[in-house]
Each structure stands twice: as structure tokens, then as C-alpha cells.
Structure 1
């Protein structure tokens, strides 16, 4: 384990903290999106005969994120956020570099699953760190800012992956993942403070962990938002897994695919920026509920176009971009609403919520991706279904009423100097 940095180091600013947490989370986005242009080459080099099996390189990594999410939150409630986060980044580096040496597709898929498990804290712990310092709509605003910076990586990652393959093998994409991981580990070690309040420190006892996680799961005002976000995230992951086949091959985008994918990510980042500007004024519930209803409407438009049999590339791109922008308004707000009741057990609550969200999303994403049939119809059906289910789940948590604003603007808590 790395030693603590010097005690005289000044406390981290809010801006640097947001950027750091966003880029730590973005290590996962890089592990997914940089691989997309390489899936065809990997499939050919490793002699994969099933055209949809290549999707498992992405899908099993996402499933690993979900399965592993149960672990780091409770550990961080006991040992602190920083120590557990650094271990997760180290695991990301080691398994990324190991993946570059694999010569069998099944071993690579298994390695990606392990990579997801060991680096799952990169999704869980940034949320707990933000919850340590903020609450309510203020927390939603900061999560939107994190998401906005995070989405810079999906904009660039496919082009970076494609650029690497112009000069080297696809294996060097894994090398780039390892290098970026090392840089982030050094930055976090030197600058990230410990945000866990000493009075909130939990014991590592199965009964305590089970009680804390059970409380997070059984809270009605929270669980509908967790399950609803899993529905929408799962369809988004299904799109990512099948996007190379759907956009590049079915709609004929070809080499424009990385630019189109990056443009959609830019639009999603823009919506997160817009959310960060308005959420404290209007409230996370009002903004996310309006976005959800609009998302359902746009999904019906996408379904109608796909069913017509004459949908063009640019029709698909336009409507899909709108859908992703609306996901941007929903995601951060749902996350903050779901985590709001759990200040004392933010790590455990973040873990169990991430576990539910990511496992369900990965299974939904796998089903959506594997349903690809050389058309956009299965994906458009999944969009509509996710919108309907999410609306029902939100209504459950809200006891049938939308657009309420239940909490006041958030307050802050001091952060211990590193």
C-alpha cells in the first residue's frame, strides 16, 4: 500500500475534486468505448464465429461492475474511501495489462469480467464521496457536473481506440488503459482527501452490513429510482454493445461511427451541464420527471420510425441523440434522490444500489444487444419498454405523485485535509 502523502498538503478544491472523481469513473467508460472500433478485429484475430459473441467483451465487463459493486462500499464505510479506491485503481491497471496478453476469446471475456469486479469501486465510491459532503439538489448538481466531465471520455475513446490501431495492434488499447490508470492512481494518492466522517465509520460485521444494505433496499422512496435507473441504463448499455453493428454496419456509417458515437456523448454531456444549471432551482424530482415523460415520447417516435422499415441513418442518429440527452437529465437526479436518505451509511447504500443498478442493467443490456437482428426494431422496442417500466417504478416510490419537491437545497460538510 502507498504511504500517505505529506500532512502539510492543502485541502483539495471542489473543482479539482469533481474533475478527479469524474475521471476516475471515466476509467470504466474508456475500458468500454475505446474497445468498440476494435471488436471486429478482435473477433477476426481470435477466430470468433458467432457475430454477436464479440459483444460479451463489453457485456461481461459491465456485469462484473455490477457483481463487484456489493463489496467496496461496506469496506469504505470501515476503512475509508481513499484506501479502497486506490486498491480498485491498482486492480484496474494490473488486469488491463494482463488482458493485452490474452490469445483466446473466452479467456479475454473472463478477464474482462474480473476487471469489472475489481474496479467496481470506481463507480461506487465517487458517489459516496459526494454524499459525504453534500445532500439534496446540491448533490444532484455536482453529480451532473461529474457526469458532464465523465462523458468527455466516450466522446474521445472510440477515436483514441481507432487511432491506436492505425499504428499498433488492438492490444495496445489495453496498454493505454493501464497507463491512464497509473496516472489516476498517483493523482488520487497525492490529492484525494478522506471524506468519511469518523462518527459514521461502520464495523465489518455481516449483520451490520446486511442491516445497512437491507435498509437501502427496503426504503420505498429510494428503490423505485434505483430500479428505474437500471431499466434506462440497461437499454443504454444494450445500445453501446450493439452500436458498432447497428450504426456502422446496418445503417452504413462505416468510419463515421466513432464521430457519431462521440457526438451523441457530447450531446449527453451538454444535457448534464444544463441539468447542473437548473436542478437547484427546480429540484431533482421535477427535472427528472419531466425528462422521463419526454424520453417515453421520444422512444415511441423511434419505435415508429424503426417499424416503418425506411429509417435512415440520420433519422436514427437524431432521435437516439435526443434519447441520450434525456438520459443525462434523468441519471444524476435519480442517483441523488436514491442516495439522499442514507447519510450515515452512504458507502453501503451506494454499493447495494450500484449492485442492483448495474447487475440489472448489464442483464438488460445483454438481452438488448443479443436481440439485434440486423434492424433497429428490437432496440426501439426496448426503449419504449424501459420508459414505461421506469415511469411505473417512479410512481411507486412517489406514491403516485410526480413533480413534487420534497427537500431543500443541500448543505455541505467540511472535508478533512489530506
Structure 2
């Protein structure tokens, strides 16, 4: 048996091909969520579920599966290698997709969605590790900026893709499309991407070390303050995301224009991520996060006033005009809160990323389900959710900032 590290078994890809493949893998999460949104009503009718609150779980439970998956794949990618994490995740995602494709009940579909989400956590976690293994400093920032350009576009076009499939086929073929894309990505990765973590650098899994490291992370006030803030903001945003089809197609009767409105608001989040990369150099993460939280609360309060004055349904142009700056603030918060939570972790960055991502996702799901249960003929619950959980986030960020200082 050869002692040559697996790292050298296959030729490395060029930059353009590497960036394209990594962008496809990171975008699989957004595609799996947002392409489903136009189909929620059809799925409910086909599977005998008329209550839209039940179909909202198709989105929110996906994040529950990802929360569990990230906890598993964080240590797995460090102990078994990046290729094992990606390829096993792709296989599990494909199995979940097949279950969704043949589901004859909402329960079976939801089980498939959780399995999908668990599987997609492998490529999600390993992609960042692959980039970190091969690039550093400005080179890494350059690669990430190229990937983010694609990552920003996918949430904008995914509902359009889903709507297009529905126009010519039925909702099951959205999962057929997922399966084709997943197999394509899996084969491409298997054939072209070498292992970037040689055997001698892998960290054997240890329950003892996991407990010690997890205890340190979970009791670190600064880390937990930012993580709790992120989970609450994401919970309010997930409530919008999972009910967006109900808001635009049921309450506002936008019909096939729903993907266009969704894309416009998704652009706000994506543009904020791009702008943050420029602004953070000048103003710093703490200041930007404070500004974004205050801005979110101000715009949410304005929208609540309009909502109350219009019996829960303000004119569509007013809704979109205020959601756009609200989501810009959310986009600023996503990257900065995660980065500030990661700052104190140093050598525990891999496990820290898994715990932070998992905990914030686990927090967001019950928040989103709670808010979504009150959505029927009014957008008021979503707006109140942003105010309440935005205010709590500001409190936790203030506590974390004081600890950091």
C-alpha cells in the first residue's frame, strides 16, 4: 500500500473550475429551500393538507435537519477528510430527495426533507474547509467573493426555477431537478476535486475532547451572546421565508409574480452581504451590527404602524418598500454576528462553527413555527416577530459587546 497522502492522488483543479464547483455546492442549500416556495400550495392539496401552517414546515424543518447535520459533519470533516464529508452528504441528500419525490403523505415528505437537510450539511461544512485548506489571506477572500456572487444570485432565481417547473410539470419534478443537480455535482466533485486534508493532519474523534471543547464554547458569554442574537434574527427571517408564499400568493394574490417579488427582496439580503464586505473595513463589525439592529427595529416599527392602520394588510408597495431595507439590515447582521461569535474560538474554529450554526438554526425553527402559526390573513405576526426578536437580539449583542470590550 502506498504511503502517498490522498492529497496527491488526483490533479488539482484550476481556480475557475474550483470556484464554480464550490459555488454550486454552497448554493445547493438555497436552491433546496427557495425553489420549493411556489409549490407549497400544490403540495398541500396533493397530499391532503389544506392547512398552510402544515406546509410551512417543508421549509422550517429543513433547517432543523441542517442543525443536526452540521453538528455531525463538523467533526466528521476533520477526522475523515473533506471528500468523505462531501460525498456521503451528497448520497444522503439524494436519498432524502427520492423519499420526497415518491412521498404520498406530508409526514413522509417532511421526513425526506429532514434527511435532505442532514445530507446537504456535508457539502456546506466541507466546502468552507476545502477553501480554507487551499487558500489563505487575500487569496481566500478573492475566492470567497467569487463564490458569494453566485450564492447571492441563487435565492433570487430559485423560486423562478420552481415556478418554471410547475408551469410545465408538477411539484414532484422539482425534486427530480434536485436529484439531477445533486448527481451532477457529486460526479463532478468525485472526478475532479482531490482531498485537501492529508491523513497525517486529521484529528481523531474524541468524545472527551468534544465535551471539553463544547463546554468551553457553550459557556463563553461573548460567543453565546452573538449566537443567541443570530438565532433570534434568523428565526424572525425564517418565519418570513417559510410563509412568503402565503403572504404573496394568498394574502396579496400576486399569482405567478411571487418569484419576482421574492427575488427583489432576496437581492436586498445579497446586496447587503456585498456592501458589508466594503463597509466592515471602515466601520468594523460591532458598529455595523448595532446600526443594522437599530435600523431593523425602526423600519419594522414603521411597517407595524402601517399594518395596524390597514387591518393587517398594507398596500403591497408599502410592504415591499419597508421589507427591502429591513432585509438589508438582516443581510448585514448574518455575516457579522457569525464572524464575531467565531472570533474567540481559535483552534476550536471547526467545532465552533458547527455548534454556532447548529444552535442558531435550532433556535430559529421553533421561533419560525410559532410566528407562522399566526399567519392567515394578516402580515402583522411577521412584523411583530421582527420587532420582538430584533429587540432581544440587540440586548444579547449589547451583552456580548461589553464582554468583548
> In the alignment, is the contact (CA less than 8 A) between 1:128 and 1:346 conserved in 2?
no
Q: How far apart are residue 37 of structure 1 and its match?
A: 1.1
1:140, 1:218 → 2: CA distance? 31
CA 387–54 in structure 1, closer or farther in 2 if over 3 Å, else same? same
Find 2:382's aligned residue among 379, 399, 402.
Answer: 379
Task: Report the counterpart of residue 51 of structure 2 in structure 1.
Answer: 50
CA 106–312 in structure 1, closer or farther in 2 if over 3 Å, else same? same
CA 292–149 in structure 1, closer or farther in 2 if over 3 Å, else same? farther
1:217, 1:199 → 2: CA distance? 29
1:197, 1:324 → 2: CA distance? 41
Task: Report the counterpart of residue 291 of structure 2 in structure 1.
Answer: 290
Task: Report the counterpart of residue 389 of structure 1 in structure 2.
Answer: 392
Find 2:359's aligned residue among 330, 333, 356.
Answer: 356
> In the alignment, is the contact (CA less than 8 A) between 1:145 and 1:276 conserved in 2?
no
2:360, 2:184 → 1: CA distance? 28
2:288, 2:359 → 1: CA distance? 24
> In the alignment, is the contact (CA less than 8 A) between 1:93 and 1:179 conserved in 2?
no
1:247-258 correspondence to structure 2 within 5 Å: 247-258=248-259
CA 105–246 in structure 1, closer or farther in 2 if over 3 Å, else same? same
Q: How far apart are residue 71 of structure 1 and its match?
A: 0.6
Determine helix, strand or coil for the equivalent of 2:296.
helix
Structure 2-normalised TM-score? 0.89
1:140, 1:288 → 2: CA distance? 21
CA 308–318 in structure 1, closer or farther in 2 if over 3 Å, else same? same
Further displaced range: 174-183 or 186-195: 186-195
Task: Report the counterpart of residue 331 of structure 2 in structure 1.
Answer: 328
CA 51–356 in structure 1, closer or farther in 2 if over 3 Å, else same? same
> In the alignment, is the contact (CA less than 8 A) between 1:140 and 1:332 conserved in 2?
no
> In the alignment, is the contact (CA less than 8 A) between 1:60 and 1:110 conserved in 2?
no
Gapped runs of 5+ residues in structure 2? Answer: 1-5
Deviations 1:20-70 (A, max 9, x none): 444323212111111111111111111113232111121222211112221
> In the alignment, is the contact (CA less than 8 A) between 1:200 and 1:345 conserved in 2?
no
> In the alignment, is the contact (CA less than 8 A) between 1:246 and 1:376 conserved in 2?
yes
Determine helix, strand or coil for the equivalent of 1:119.
helix
RMSD after superposition:
2.8
Q: How far apart are residue 132 of structure 1 and its match?
A: 5.4
> In the alignment, is the contact (CA less than 8 A) between 1:102 and 1:108 conserved in 2?
yes
> In the alignment, is the contact (CA less than 8 A) between 1:46 and 1:104 conserved in 2?
yes
Task: Report the counterpart of residue 185 of structure 2 in structure 1.
Answer: 184
1:227, 1:195 → 2: CA distance? 33
Q: How far apart are residue 96 of structure 1 and its match?
A: 1.0
> In the alignment, is the contact (CA less than 8 A) between 1:131 and 1:343 conserved in 2?
no
1:299, 1:271 → 2: CA distance? 17
2:64, 2:147 → 1: CA distance? 23
CA 129–284 in structure 1, closer or farther in 2 if over 3 Å, else same? farther
1:137-216 correspondence to structure 2 within 5 Å: 146-192=147-193, 194-196=195-197, 201-216=202-217
Task: Report the counterpart of residue 281 of structure 2 in structure 1.
Answer: 280
Deviations 1:121-155 (A, max 9, x none): 34433444556578999988976764443231111
CA 142–372 in structure 1, closer or farther in 2 if over 3 Å, else same? farther
1:256, 1:340 → 2: CA distance? 42
Task: Report the counterpart of residue 262 of structure 2 in structure 1.
Answer: 261
Question: Which has the larger helix fraction?
Answer: 2
> In the alignment, is the contact (CA less than 8 A) between 1:70 and 1:355 conserved in 2?
yes
> In the alignment, is the contact (CA less than 8 A) between 2:249 and 2:258 conserved in 1?
yes
> In the alignment, is the contact (CA less than 8 A) between 1:136 and 1:337 conserved in 2?
no
1:385, 1:265 → 2: CA distance? 22
1:96, 1:105 → 2: CA distance? 14
Q: How far apart are residue 191 of structure 1 and its match?
A: 4.5
Q: How far apart are residue 176 of structure 1 and its match?
A: 0.5
2:219, 2:129 → 1: CA distance? 19
> In the alignment, is the contact (CA less than 8 A) between 1:148 and 1:270 conserved in 2?
no
Deviations 1:323-376 (A, max 9, x none): 111111111122222223334232211111111011111121111212213101
Q: How far apart are residue 8 of structure 1 and its match?
A: 6.0
Further displaced range: 32-41 or 364-373: 364-373
1:142, 1:215 → 2: CA distance? 32
Query: With CA pairs under 8 Å and 6+ residues apart, which has the higher RCO, 1 or 2?
Result: 1
